[in-house]
Amino acid sequence: MKRQLRKPDKLRFKSEFDQVRLDGTKLVGPSMLLVYAPAPDDLLRCGVICGKKYSLLSVK
C-alpha cells in the first residue's frame, strides 16, 4: 500500500523545524542526522532538510 504525505502532514515553516530541534531526540548515523519529537496534535508529521554537504542541488 502506497502512502503519501499530504500538505498538512509536512513541516513547512522554520518555527516548526525549530520546535522539533528544541524538543526532539537526536540520532546520528554515518550519512544522516535524524531529529524526532512527538507532534503536539498526535498526528504523524514529517520534514526533510538536505545540506550542500550531501547534494549541491539542496539549495534550490
Is the predicted pLDDT of residue 56 greater than 80, yes or no? no
Q: How many domains does the chain have?
A: 1
Residue 1 forms part of a structural domain: no
H-helix segments, the chain: 14-23
Residue 51 forms part of a structural domain: yes
Structural domain harbouring 17: 7-59
Q: Is 27 or 55 the better-scoring residue by pLDDT?
A: 27
Instruction: In whole angstroms, give the CA distance from residue 54 to residue 36.
Output: 20
The rounded percent of the chain whose pLDDT value lies above 90 is 2
Residue 35 forms part of a structural domain: yes
Residue 43 forms part of a structural domain: yes
Instruction: In whole angstroms, give the CA distance from residue 22 to residue 25.
Output: 9
For 23-46, what is each residue's pLDDT tens digit? 888 888 887 788 888 887 777 788
Residue 2 forms part of a structural domain: no
For the chain, the residue count is 60
Is residue 36 within 8 Å of residue 24, measured between CB atoms? Answer: yes
Average pLDDT over the chain reads 80
